[in-house]
Amino acid sequence: MQTFCYYMPTKVICGRDCIAEHGALLKELGRSALIVTGKSSAKNGALDDVLSALEHNGQTATVYDRVTPNPTVACVREGVALLKSAGADCIVAIGGGSPMDAAKAMATLAVQERTDDEIFAGGYEARALPMAHVPTTAGTGSEVTPYAILTNDAKQTKTSITSPAMFPRFAFLDGKYMERLPVVTTVNTALDAFSHAVEGMLSRQATPLSNALAAESLRILYPLLKKTSGPLTAEERDALLYASMLAGMTIAQSGTTAVHGMGYYLTYFYDVDHGRANGLLLGAALALCAKKGLVQLRNILSACGAELSEVCALLDGLLGRREEIPRARLEEFAARAMGNKNIKKSVYEPTEREMLEMFLSSFPASDA
Amino acid sequence: MQTFCYYMPTKVICGRDCIAEHGALLKELGRSALIVTGKSSAKNGALDDVLSALEHNGQTATVYDRVTPNPTVACVREGVALLKSAGADCIVAIGGGSPMDAAKAMATLAVQERTDDEIFAGGYEARALPMAHVPTTAGTGSEVTPYAILTNDAKQTKTSITSPAMFPRFAFLDGKYMERLPVVTTVNTALDAFSHAVEGMLSRQATPLSNALAAESLRILYPLLKKTSGPLTAEERDALLYASMLAGMTIAQSGTTAVHGMGYYLTYFYDVDHGRANGLLLGAALALCAKKGLVQLRNILSACGAELSEVCALLDGLLGRREEIPRARLEEFAARAMGNKNIKKSVYEPTEREMLEMFLSSFPASDA
């Protein structure tokens, strides 16, 4: 057996009304919380539940609800400034990946000063303000990872920062916050979760335990993925959220692969939703795995209980009409992606030529 | 989906020579370690590896190697006294379940004073000295649980104490320490691990994630169980240790069931090895599940890839000649076990009559 580590210290609380039921746990975080969320995340009931729990615990709260998709360093700075002026000593993040990732960066930068130039330089110490995370989409898995992905304008992409202290202390998973999620968000975030489970199994850093978690995620997620474009029952929402969390536990160990690394350019330059960007490239990555005869592909398909052609057809159906992106841009993205650390972490380790082929087959109209 | 929590904050490091490779992690524990081990645990190379790592880190070490099987409160007191006189501020446990459980109790009682009468009264705070655990058998899973099982003379059984701070900070899993383990120990400890995975799935406190971990454990463990009475390869030792850890992660969430609760009497009164005691009763528990038509049994057998009769035959083969225990004692044990908190936690929740039947079918000679 290969040498490997497993670490995921977040306490996860799953189930209907889990914040109301287990809100007393939040007391451990501190006496004054900064709530980090986005405009829409605040409207699904999660913010009210968190505010009630904090009030019940005698904790004060300040709300920062200005996190936008693909959060910037400026947003993180703004949150830290509010946190300090409010005297907050802990953070509760509510939302999808953007508020959760912004919150992790705020929790870290609040106690470890960095200039803008140093933010993506790595080497963070294991110190951050304690956090609780409440995901309101089923996709990012950020509630159980030590990563924060931020927009990196200097490199014109998205880049992750990480430290063991970025694992939230608590994650509260309640599918009811997703009841009124727009279909497109449900689909895109489910594609993100699917991508995490699949890429986790395609990572050179995969471990026996991360693979087991990924396979379990896929067993639940794949049949649900087919349903994301229609109405979902409460049980299906819960299962989707649970599977997304398992996929997060997976990448907390394995990291992601070239699909994520390549997708960030689609998001940075064409504002393609993050989950959709992964979904757009995933079929091409799986096809490359098939071409290279990788055993990991068989494990993925076995967990899905599907053939490669079925998986690709499902992705195609969920993605609908694909963006048109000039070939010259895709060539540029392939060249840029060569410098991405995720490429070498992929068992399908694509060459620049192969990345271009992946891009071109993902955006066929662009080949014209 | 039912409401459930998941929490297992131990950092697990698996692989050959993992202490030599990752021993720097031990620095985080403190400056002076009490090493808690047993006489034989010290002879498999693990103690030397830990001492080298601590010395390399500039940490001092005091060795307490007087832990015996089924550790007593007196042993825990002795360890705490040595810890205090040596000025130790952390603990490294090396061995099977007994040294690991004794170490957890020492780490807790060193910072939370209790009289002997209060030790099993529960309500421990989440405070303990930081610990690293090095299992030298593949069975207990204690390296990833928050439980310490001690001999409880007042109640003439074994009783667990628990607190979230009893999760070790680190667990180092290296199968090489098991190379020269006596066959009987390999078999008995593997039966313990098997029992954890099976009972985890038979617990009313089972969760989706504990079931996934248990099933993964059984998929690896069951085929290996057949081999434990013969020579094992290094890879098989590693896999056994990994599966045992997964079973430990399972019961860290689910707890154990009546099998454990009943087996403690066999250990207390007849000195039956703990793993063997579980193994002796497990077939009867599974038969009771079959009689009650429990779906959990199907999940267990599916993960094992075996029929109930095959599992029982395998257990019989590994256990060999069963102890002879007077029927009157078994009647007494069944009556006593009714007060055990594990009984109600079992999905096969046995009545006293059913427990007696389980005992009698497990020790057929006793029926005479």
- pLDDT at A239 exceeding the cut of 80: yes
Q: Which residues of B touch A6 (CB under 8 A)?
A: 11-12, 14
The DSSP output letter for B354 is H
Architecture of domain A11-178: 3-Layer(aba) Sandwich (3.40)
Cβ-based contacts of A176 with chain B (< 8 Å): none
**Inter-chain residue contact A213 with B208, CB threshold 8 Å:** no
* pLDDT tens-digit readout, A158-213: 999 999 999 999 999 999 999 999 999 999 999 999 999 999 999 999 999 999 99
Beta carbons of A14 and B7 less than 8 Å apart: no
Q: How far is B306 from chain A (nearest CA, A)?
A: 20
pLDDT band per the 50, 70, 90 thresholds, residue A340 = confident
- Whether B320 has its CB under 8 Å from any CB of chain A: the answer is no
Residue A278 C-alpha, separation from nearest chain B C-alpha, in angstroms: 26
pLDDT band at A41 (very low <50, low <70, confident <90, very high): confident
pLDDT tens-digit map of B155-165: 999 999 999 99
Q: B365: how many CB neighbours lie within 10 A of its CB?
A: 11
Instruction: Give the nearest partner residue to A3 out of B18, B207, B208, using CB atoms.
Output: B18
CA dihedral A335, A336, A342, A347 (to 10 degrees): -10
Asked if B16 lies within 8 A of A3 by C-beta distance, the reply is yes
Nearest CA in chain B to A233: B1
pLDDT of residue B3: 86
Contact criterion met (CB < 8 Å) for A5 and B13: yes
Task: Provide the pLDDT for residue A140.
Answer: 96
The span from the CA of A168 to the CA of A155, in Å, is: 28
**Closest-CA residue of chain B to A12:** B6
Contact map slice: A 232-271 vs B, CB within 8 A = 235, 238-239, 242, 246
Pick from A6, A16, A213: CB nearest B12: A6
Q: What SS3 class is residue B279?
A: helix
Q: Is the pLDDT of residue B211 over 80?
A: yes
In the predicted structure, residue B368 carries a pLDDT above the cut 70: no
* Bridge partners for B35 per DSSP: B63, B92
Looking at the predicted structure, is the pLDDT value of residue A1 above 80? Answer: no
**CA dist list (Å): A291 to A295, A350, A367, B29:** 11, 12, 21, 48
Q: Average of pLDDT values for A231-240?
A: 97
Q: Report d(CA A14, CA A224) in Å as an integer.
A: 18
* Predicted local confidence at residue B365, as pLDDT: 77
Question: At A3, is the pLDDT very low, low, confident or very high (cuts 50, 70, 90)?
Answer: confident
Is the CB of A4 less than 8 angstroms away from the CB of B16?
no
Confidence of residue A368 (pLDDT cuts 50, 70, 90): low
- A4 CB neighbours in chain B (<8 A) are 13-15
Q: Which of A1, A8, A16 sits opposite B15 (nearest CB)?
A: A1
Across the interface, whether the CB atoms of B21 and A3 are under 8 A apart is answered yes
A8 touches chain B (CB under 8 A): yes
Q: What is the pLDDT, as a whole number, of residue A43? A: 80
Return the C-alpha torsion angle A80, A86, A92, A94, nearest 10: -80
User: Does the distance separating the beta carbons of A6 and B11 come in below 8 Å?
Assistant: yes
Residue A367 has a pLDDT of 55
Contact B213 A212 (CB under 8 A): yes
B146 touches chain A (CB under 8 A): no
Residues in B touching A169 (Cβ below 8 Å): none
CB of B11 within 8 Å of any CB in chain A?
A: yes
Confidence grade of residue B153 (pLDDT, cut at 50, 70, 90):
very high
Nearest residue of A to residue B219, measured between CA atoms: A212
Query: Is A12 near chain B, with CB under 8 Å?
Result: yes
- Who among A16, A18, A242 is closest to B208 (CB)? A242
Q: Which residues of B touch A125 (CB under 8 A)?
A: none
CA A298 to chain centre: 24
Q: How does B261-279 read in b/e, with b if 16+ C-beta sit within 10 Å? A: bbbbbbbbeeebbbbbbbb
| Per-residue pLDDT, A24 | 98
B9 vs A9, A14, A246: nearest CB: A9
Closest residue, chain A, to B216 (C-alpha): A212
Question: Would you say residue B1 has pLDDT above 60?
Answer: no
pLDDT at A42 over 60: yes
- Those residues whose C-beta lies under 8 Å from the C-beta of residue A165, and which sit 6 or more positions away, are A107, A108, A124, A125, A126, A127, A128, A146
Q: Choose among A67, A74, A134: nearest CA to A98.
A: A67
Asked if B209 reaches chain A (Cβ–Cβ under 8 Å), the answer is yes
For chain A, give every residue range classified as CATH 1.20.1090.10: 183-367
**Angle, CA of B4, A48 and A173, to the nearest 5°:** 25
Q: Is the pLDDT of residue B41 over 80?
A: no
Are the Cβ atoms of B14 and A8 closer than 8 angstroms? Answer: no
User: Considering only CB atoms, which chain B residues are within 8 Å of A11?
Assistant: 5-7, 9
- Encoded tokens for B128: 């303990």
Residues of chain B with CATH 3.40.50.1970: 11-178
**What homologous superfamily is domain A183-367 in, according to CATH?**
Dehydroquinate synthase-like - alpha domain (1.20.1090.10)
The predicted-structure confidence for B47-84, as pLDDT tens digits, reads as follows 999 999 999 999 999 999 999 999 999 999 999 999 99
C-beta atoms surrounding A355 within 10 Å: 27
Considering only CB atoms, A238 lies closest to which of B1, B13, B235, namely: B1
For residue A152, which of A343, A279, A324, A341 has the smallest C-alpha distance? A341
B175 interfaces chain A, CB cutoff of 8 Å:
yes
**How confident is the model over A31-51, as a mean pLDDT?**
92
The answer to whether B11 contacts A7, with C-beta atoms less than 8 Å apart, is yes
- Is A212 in contact with B216 (Cβ distance < 8 A)? yes
Asked if residue B129 has pLDDT above 90, the reply is yes
* pLDDT tens-place string over residues A49-76: 999 999 999 999 999 999 999 999 999 9
The reported pLDDT for the residue numbered B367 is 55
Contacts of B212 in chain A (CB under 8 A): 212-213, 216, 246
